[in-house]
Amino acid sequence: MASIDRIAPCLWFDHQAEEAARFYIGVFKNSRIVALSRYGEAGHKIHRRPAGSVMTVAFELEAQPFTALNGGPLFKFNEAISLQIYCDTQEEIDYYWTRLTAGGDPAAQQCGWLKDRYDVSWQVVPLAMLEMMKEPGERADRGDDRAAADEEARPGRFEAGVRHCGKSLTSTSFRAADTPTGADVEIRSPINYQLIADR
């Protein structure tokens, strides 16, 4: 028996399951449509879908399995659940933000959170943010890697600015002792931050 992933999100759409799946595989690399299933005549009184129309789409994004379901307008997406995208660089952050916000609600695009054109919620998250938010005792031991980390984290590696955050957000500063690299960092938004030169 073929192995399967134990957890795979199922996204309920009105009638856009295939369209949405194809949109997502156009955004994420190493992604594909795996299989489609279609409604038949059986059960038409309940599902009221045309025979032959798409019922489910199995697809993968970066090898993570998903199912998209055409279930009708009964249920809607909301921000109670969101999909997180971890990014290494500012270029990755801008890439996913630009593509996923296209056609989405501008009012739902703030501080790293967005809703795409199908109202699915996403978070675009810098990997460095995860390390910064850890409790002090949980941070990785810098030890022998400190010099290499400092070299990697020189000011200018990530752009400064507040492009993807609302005006009401207050900047948060992390001093050298609080960050994994030992450099001072100012978080201006959860998806756009800068390393500050030593003062």
Cβ contacts of residue 36 below 8 Å, gap of 6+?
18, 54, 56, 57, 58
Q: What is the identity of the amino acid at 158?
A: F
pLDDT at 45: 77
- What pLDDT does 43 receive? 80
Q: What share of the chain is helix, strand, coil (3-state, %, to 5)?
A: 25, 30, 45
Per-residue tens of pLDDT for the chain, all 199 residues: 566 779 999 999 999 999 999 999 999 999 999 999 999 988 887 888 889 999 999 999 999 999 999 999 999 999 999 999 999 999 999 999 999 999 999 999 998 999 999 999 999 999 988 877 776 665 555 444 443 444 444 333 344 333 445 433 333 333 334 444 444 444 433 444 443 333 3
Within a domain: residue 90? no
At which of 31, 61, 76 does a domain end? Answer: 76
Tokens for 31, please give them.
């992604």
In a domain, 162, yes or no: yes
Sheet bearing 121-126, strands edge to edge? 83-87, 121-126, 113-115
- Is position 102 within any domain? no
Q: Does residue 153 fall inside a structural domain?
A: yes
Q: Is residue 178 part of a domain?
A: yes
Residue 111, domain member (yes or no): no
* Domain-ending residue, one of 38, 56, 76: 76
For residue 17, being part of any structural domain is answered with yes
* CATH number of the domain where residue 32 is located: 3.10.180.10
**Structural domain range at position 42:** 8-76
- 67 forms bridges with which residues in the sheet? 10, 58
| CB-CB contact of 32 with 58 (8 Å) | no
Pairing of strands 184-189, 192-196: antiparallel
What pLDDT, on a 0 to 100 scale, did the predictor assign at position 2? 62
Considering its fold, how many domains does the chain have in total? 2
pLDDT value of position 4: 73
Q: Residue 161: its pLDDT value, please?
A: 31
